[in-house]
């Protein structure tokens, strides 16, 4: 069993790891008890991989295993034989009244003490998905791990990934707060959203929270599951280990933080992952847990997220640098595949079909990186390079050619180059002529509308947007844009009527922050009684939107 | 922007909103692969999001228009557009509403309202809307004065005004530089800098010459039959970027003679600049008349009428000089001497008399010379002596010629 030196023993651990005072988060402590000795807890977890002894986070002293929990639900993507670890549910005074009282917190961890079965189950799909080219230092460590039979491999603590939640409980609901302030307690009490307590404490519950747009609750649930894995609040900097699932949980948590616009929080929690190339993020680092398995545990999408996050923090150059590194690896892997080698340059043992599937996967990944780079350049306002980059993206996603060309046309409009925009829109027309169905025609009409906007012709633009609505009455963009044109034509009341009708018609889709921004701006222009109308919007939002709703667009604060 | 809040309760409310062009909403795409934990969820969320592009959800630049959220900046030459809304906040019918919008600058007061007629009546919760446009022609403080007068149901006449102050800033910095060519041509370099806060597309930068000159713009080349800008793919100017435009001015024939002896300040013409910013927001400026200080030629001026630009090494070539008597009264008796330099060797007779030259007239002289050094050579060594005043005028570096080895065929 490979142990990092910090696991060597309690005394050694204390020499390397300054004893951390664990501050259990106030809210989670009702579910998971005091963790007095942090080191022992971590090593207990690590041991659980191979010994499958019962471990209770809430009660380290507990001995007897809990009754056999139902097998964790298989989630596509998890491999190996998951090791169910049952945990006692909350017994301390927990607020009741959750629709489904849960008895188990299920953590699905990969791990097995049967190396042969695991080797056999390692599928080709995993191999091509997880392929990555580690840096030189990491390669050295992994080689050392592979050749060691016994004893510890020395790995500097700096090269290990020791993440932990950096804040807990962002289970806040901005909408509810606004309701309390403006509509009173009774109204606020009526707001019901799913939170982390109301769903199954598993991947299934997590997906439920994500799909109904209660992302704050989902972030919290990820936090709980990660805490069960030993990477909870205050565990940052403490020795730990990683599995496919724990990394997926981190990815989901960080992705949702980005979706919520909580970029600083995401950056804090990304920090222990370094540049996603540390040796303990590779399957080879855990030969007893994942015997025979190779590659990186880090989901590819996490690498994209890690790069893109920087541009939202105001460091777009850093984003580009990171994306370039990802692009380099993807290109190298594709080059290896095209030469008939395996992804990592070794001898290939796959069928022609398998190799083609791998090429397809890595080409699409390369395309995704190019897309990110183009977006980043756009954010940096380097329009010349951004347009070039979007042209490259068309090569990887030819089915998106009309949308990308339209996008480049809109970029030209944004810098004031109307003639070039016109040229691009004409190209879109040529490309869409071969398509059937409404989508192509709508794109052409949309572009014509934008062109007229660029020529200051709001009346014509309105006509085109309305034409789109005739073909597709549910087209939110055309609806919103037609209403905007009405305002510029001096028809405030008509514009308001159109937007309000849109919001009432299909609140689930149209209570979107950009539409609401427009609506509240117009309320403020219309009359001094805008506050009441905005509060009415708040009520509408309260009934439909999850906790991820960006309440700033209501302009109530 | 609002400076004076109303002092008494009025039945009508006046609201003003500047109408800069709307902006396009940008998304934050977050994706994952099928094998990841969320599966297709992230992609599904993006597809359901009405502000993403249908079929290309990862594209950040959407299609949804968002209204301007603040006043923004306004620059000289742009058009100030504003929505003016008068709303009946009360529950009684209001009569005889007159809305006037004026723009007060440091020098004048302009009326902006589209209509000057009073509206007969305004029911509760209804509004009178107007969109005003004005091309801003002055820099500095501007005040939009909106005045509303109305009569209540009881017959009481009411009146209130609101003031909205804003600053108009300078959009461009224009610097000009003149180059005098060996011939009568004058080259104008106009350096234009974008002083705004957004990227700017220069739609047109043209020089309107004064009556004395014809102008050729040198900012585009003909490539495969199409007119292509010399600025290449960099079609726009980022904030603080600079760009140089070049124009060639040739004096018209009827002024050509005069140009040779014009002294002092002459008026060249003015620059007409049209630019576009976000979504086609237009701006237009004209500079004042650009002036040029004519170079002093002294009493005698030597200029070139004809000279090849590339010649063969050590092969004689011809140039045509024009000698002008720039004085107003004196007839001159000039003697021409040619001095050789290291690279330039004159052929012909040096020291000959050119004959009498009357004031304000000129004569043309054909000369032959050759160069013994390759490369860009400067033609020097002509000396004109005024025999009466015994004054010699030296003419060096009057033109450049490119001398190539005779192995290369020179098209004559």
Cβ-based contacts of B235 with chain A (< 8 Å): 415, 417, 420
Determine the pLDDT at residue A153.
65
Task: Dump strand ranges (E) for A342-474.
Answer: none
Binary contact (B59, A439; C-beta < 8 A): no
Q: Which candidate from A255, A489, A525 shows the least CB-CB separation from B85?
A: A525
Would you list the DSSP string of A239-293?
-----HHHHHHHHHHHHHHHHTT-HHHHHHHHGGGTTS--GGGBGGG-TTTSTT-
CA atoms within 13 Å, Cβ hemisphere of A54: 16
Q: Is residue B145 within 8 angstroms of chain A, CB to CB?
A: no
| Among A536, A540, A467, CA closest to A510 | A540
Q: Is residue B199 within 8 angstroms of chain A, CB to CB?
A: yes
Residue of B55, B67, B99, B202 to mutate, interface with A, max A Cβ within 10 Å: B67
Cβ-based contacts of B64 with chain A (< 8 Å): 476-477, 480-481, 512, 514-515
Q: Is A137 left (phi over 0), alpha (psi -120 to 50) or beta?
A: alpha
Binary contact (B236, A414; C-beta < 8 A): no
User: Strand B317-325 vs strand B362-371: parallel, antiparallel, or unpaired?
Assistant: antiparallel
d(CA B86, CA A526): 8
**335-374 in A: which are within 8 Å (CB) of B?**
368, 371
| Among B100, B250, B71, B78, CA closest to B165 | B71
Q: Which candidate from B30, B49, B129 shows the least CB-CB separation from A258?
A: B30
Cβ-based contacts of B44 with chain A (< 8 Å): 211
d(CA A343, CA A131): 6
Q: Is residue B135 within 8 angstroms of chain A, CB to CB?
A: no
d(CA A405, CA A447): 10
Buried (b) or exposed (e) across A24-53, using 16+ Cβ within 10 A? bbeebbbbbbebeebbebbbbbbebbeeee
Residue of A123, A128, A326, A416 to mutate, interface with B, max B Cβ within 10 Å: A416
Question: Which residue is closest to A369 within chain B, CA to CA?
Answer: B58
Question: Which residue is closest to B62 within chain A, CA to CA?
Answer: A407
Binary contact (B199, A415; C-beta < 8 A): yes
Query: Tens place of pLDDT for every residue, chain B, 412 residues?
Result: 555 555 568 888 899 999 999 999 999 999 999 889 999 999 999 998 889 999 999 999 999 999 998 888 999 999 999 999 999 988 889 988 999 999 999 889 988 886 677 888 888 888 889 899 999 999 999 999 999 999 988 888 999 999 999 999 999 999 999 888 777 788 999 999 999 999 999 999 999 998 888 899 898 888 777 778 888 878 899 999 999 999 998 888 777 656 555 566 788 899 999 999 999 999 999 999 988 877 767 788 888 888 998 999 999 999 999 888 888 788 888 999 999 999 999 999 999 998 888 888 888 999 999 999 999 999 999 999 988 888 888 888 888 999 998 776 555 5
Q: Is residue B274 within 8 angstroms of chain A, CB to CB?
A: no
Domain spans of chain A, in order of start? 308-396, 487-556
Q: Is residue A102 within 8 angstroms of chain B, CB to CB?
A: no
Could you tell me which residues are beta bridge partners of residue B368? B318, B347
Cβ-based contacts of A362 with chain B (< 8 Å): none
Size of interface A-B (CB pairs under 8 A): 215
Binary contact (B53, A491; C-beta < 8 A): no
Q: Is the separation of the CB atoms in A277 and A134 below 8 Å?
A: yes
d(CA B36, CA B399): 73
Binary contact (B33, A381; C-beta < 8 A): no
Binary contact (A453, B203; C-beta < 8 A): no
Q: Which residue has the tokens 């959220």?
A: B69
Residue of A514, A517, A520, A529 to mutate, interface with B, max B Cβ within 10 Å: A514
Q: Which candidate from B29, B69, B278 shows the least CB-CB separation from A521?
A: B69
State ipTM.
0.80
Residue A279 is given by DSSP the state G
Q: Which residue has the tokens 């760009």?
A: B243
d(CA A18, CA A20): 6
**180-209 in A: which are within 8 Å (CB) of B?**
203, 206-207
Binary contact (B130, A301; C-beta < 8 A): no
Residue B401: phi, psi to the nearest 5? -140, 145
Q: Is the separation of the CB atoms in B336 and B382 below 8 Å?
A: yes
Cβ-based contacts of B69 with chain A (< 8 Å): 517, 521
Q: How many other C-beta atoms are found inside a 10 Å radius of the C-beta of residue A274?
A: 14
Q: Is residue B51 within 8 angstroms of chain A, CB to CB?
A: yes
Determine the pLDDT at residue B125.
86
Cβ-based contacts of B83 with chain A (< 8 Å): 487, 490, 492, 525
Determine the pLDDT at residue A435.
84
Q: How many other C-beta atoms are found inside a 10 Å radius of the C-beta of residue A344?
A: 17
Binary contact (B130, A490; C-beta < 8 A): yes
Q: Which candidate from B29, B67, B85 shows the least CB-CB separation from A484?
A: B67
Query: Tens place of pLDDT for every residue, chain A, 557 residues?
Result: 343 343 333 333 333 333 433 333 334 333 333 443 333 333 333 333 333 333 333 333 333 333 333 333 333 333 333 333 333 333 333 333 333 333 233 333 344 455 554 444 457 788 888 899 988 888 888 888 888 754 566 777 778 888 888 887 666 777 888 888 888 888 777 777 788 888 888 899 999 999 988 899 899 999 999 999 888 888 888 888 889 999 999 999 999 999 999 999 999 999 999 999 999 899 988 888 888 888 999 999 999 999 999 999 999 999 999 999 999 999 999 999 998 888 888 888 778 888 888 999 999 999 999 999 999 999 999 999 999 999 999 999 999 999 999 999 999 999 999 999 999 999 999 999 988 888 899 999 999 999 999 999 999 999 999 999 999 988 999 999 999 999 999 999 999 999 888 888 877 778 888 888 999 999 888 877 788 888 888 888 887 778 888 888 888 86
Determine the pLDDT at residue B262.
59
Q: Which candidate from B37, B129, B280 shows the least CB-CB separation from A252?
A: B37
Q: Is residue B364 within 8 angstroms of chain A, CB to CB?
A: no
Determine the pLDDT at residue A75.
36
Binary contact (B54, A384; C-beta < 8 A): no
Domains and CATH numbers, chain B: 12-19+70-169 (2.60.40.10), 23-66 (no CATH), 172-294 (2.60.40.1230), 300-404 (2.60.40.10)
Task: Dump strand ranges (E) for A81-185.
Answer: 83-85, 107-109
Cβ-based contacts of B233 with chain A (< 8 Å): 384
């Amino acid at each position: 069993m490979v142990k990092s030196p910090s696991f060597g023993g309690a005394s050694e651990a204390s020499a390397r790891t300054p004893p951390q005072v664990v501050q259990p988060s106030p809210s989670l402590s009702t579910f998971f008890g005091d963790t007095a000795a942090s080191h022992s807890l971590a090593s207990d977890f690590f041991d659980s991989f191979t010994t499958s002894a019962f471990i209770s986070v809430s009660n380290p002293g507990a001995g007897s295993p809990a009754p056999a929990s139902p097998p964790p639900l298989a989630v596509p993507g998890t491999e190996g034989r998951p090791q169910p670890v049952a945990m006692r549910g909350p017994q301390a005074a927990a607020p009741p009244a959750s629709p489904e009282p849960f008895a188990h917190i299920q953590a699905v961890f990969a791990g097995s003490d049967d190396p042969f079965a695991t080797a056999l189950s390692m599928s080709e799909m995993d191999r091509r998905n997880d392929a990555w080219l580690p840096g030189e230092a990491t390669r050295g460590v992994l080689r050392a791990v592979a050749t060691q039979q016994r004893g510890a491999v020395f790995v500097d603590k700096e090269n290990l990934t020791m993440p932990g939640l950096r804040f807990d409980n962002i289970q806040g609901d901005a909408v509810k707060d606004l309701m309390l302030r403006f509509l009173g307690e009774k109204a606020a009490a009526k707001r019901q959203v799913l939170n982390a307590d109301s769903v199954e404490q598993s991947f299934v519950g997590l997906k439920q929270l994500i799909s109904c747009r209660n992302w704050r609750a989902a972030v919290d649930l990820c936090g709980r599951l990660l805490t069960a894995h030993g990477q909870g609040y205050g565990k940052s900097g403490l020795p730990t280990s990683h599995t496919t699932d724990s990394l997926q949980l981190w990815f989901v948590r960080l992705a949702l933080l980005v979706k919520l616009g909580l970029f600083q929080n995401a950056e804090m929690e990304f920090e222990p992952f370094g540049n996603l190339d540390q040796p303990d993020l590779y399957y080879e680092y855990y030969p007893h847990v994942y015997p025979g398995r190779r590659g990186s545990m880090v989901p590819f999408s996490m690498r994209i997220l890690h790069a893109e996050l920087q541009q939202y923090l105001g460091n777009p150059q850093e984003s580009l640098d990171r994306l370039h590194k990802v692009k380099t690896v993807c290109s190298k892997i594709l080059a290896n595949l095209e030469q008939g080698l395996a992804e990592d340059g070794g001898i290939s043992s796959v069928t022609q079909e398998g190799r083609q599937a791998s090429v397809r996967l890595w080409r699409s990944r390369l395309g995704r990186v190019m897309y990110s780079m183009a977006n980043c350049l756009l954010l940096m306002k380097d329009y010349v390079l951004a347009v070039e980059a979007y042209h490259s993206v068309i090569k990887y996603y030819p089915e998106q050619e009309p949308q990308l060309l339209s996008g480049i046309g809109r970029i030209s409009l944004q810098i004031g180059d109307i003639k070039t925009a016109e040229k691009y829109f004409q190209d879109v027309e040529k490309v869409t002529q071969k398509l059937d169905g409404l989508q192509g025609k709508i794109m052409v009409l949309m572009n014509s509308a934008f062109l007229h906007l660029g020529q200051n012709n709001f009346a014509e633009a309105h006509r085109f947007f309305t034409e789109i609505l005739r073909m597709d009455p549910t087209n939110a963009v055309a609806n919103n844009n037609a209403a905007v044109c009405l305002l510029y034509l001096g028809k405030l009341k008509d514009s308001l009527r159109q937007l309000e009708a849109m919001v009432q018609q299909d609140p689930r889709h149209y209570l979107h922050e950009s539409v609401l921004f427009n609506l509240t701006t117009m309320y403020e222009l219309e009359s001094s009684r805008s506050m009441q109308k905005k509060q009415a919007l708040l009520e509408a939002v309260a009934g439909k939107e999850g906790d991820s709703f960006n309440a700033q667009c209501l302009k109530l604060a | 922007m609002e400076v004076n809040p109303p002092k008494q309760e009025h039945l009508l409310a006046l609201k003003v909103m500047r109408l800069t062009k709307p902006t396009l909403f940008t998304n934050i795409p977050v994706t994952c692969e099928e094998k990841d934990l969320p599966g297709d969820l992230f992609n599904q969320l993006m597809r359901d999001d009405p502000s993403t592009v249908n079929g290309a959800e990862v594209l950040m630049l959407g299609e949804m228009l968002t209204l301007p959220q603040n006043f923004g900046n306004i620059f000289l030459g742009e058009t100030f557009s504003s929505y003016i809304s008068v709303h009946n906040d009360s529950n009684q019918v209001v009569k005889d509403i007159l809305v006037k919008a004026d723009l007060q600058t440091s020098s004048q007061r302009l009326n902006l309202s589209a209509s000057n007629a009073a509206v007969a009546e305004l029911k509760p919760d209804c509004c009178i809307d107007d969109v005003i446009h004005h091309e801003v022609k002055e820099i500095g403080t501007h005040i939009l004065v909106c005045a509303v007068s109305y009569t209540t149901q009881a017959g009481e006449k009411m009146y209130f005004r609101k003031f909205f102050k804003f600053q108009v800033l300078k959009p461009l910095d224009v610097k000009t530089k003149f180059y005098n060519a060996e011939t009568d041509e004058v080259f104008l370099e106009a350096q234009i800098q974008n002083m705004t806060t957004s990227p700017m597309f220069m739609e047109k930068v043209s020089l309107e010459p004064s009556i004395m000159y014809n102008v050729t713009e040198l900012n585009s080349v003909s490539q495969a039959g199409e007119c292509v800008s010399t600025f290449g793919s960099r079609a726009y100017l980022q904030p603080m970027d600079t760009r140089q435009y070049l124009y060639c001015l040739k004096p018209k024939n009827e002024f050509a003679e005069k140009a040779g002896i014009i002294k002092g300040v002459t008026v060249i013409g003015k620059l007409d600049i049209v630019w576009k910013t976000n979504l086609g927001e237009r701006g237009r400026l004209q500079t004042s008349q650009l002036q040029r200080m004519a170079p002093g030629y002294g009493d005698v001026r030597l200029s070139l009428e004809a000279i090849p630009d590339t010649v063969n090494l050590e092969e004689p070539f011809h140039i045509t000089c024009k000698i002008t008597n720039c004085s107003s009264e004196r007839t001159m008796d000039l003697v021409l001497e040619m001095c050789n330099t290291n690279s330039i060797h004159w052929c012909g007779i040096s020291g000959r008399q050119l004959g009498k030259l009357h004031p304000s007239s000129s004569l043309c002289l054909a000369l032959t010379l050759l160069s013994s050094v390759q490369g860009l050579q400067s033609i020097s060594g002509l000396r004109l002596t005024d025999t009466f005043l015994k004054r010699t005028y030296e003419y060096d570096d009057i033109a450049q010629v490119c001398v190539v080895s005779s192995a290369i065929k020179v098209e004559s």
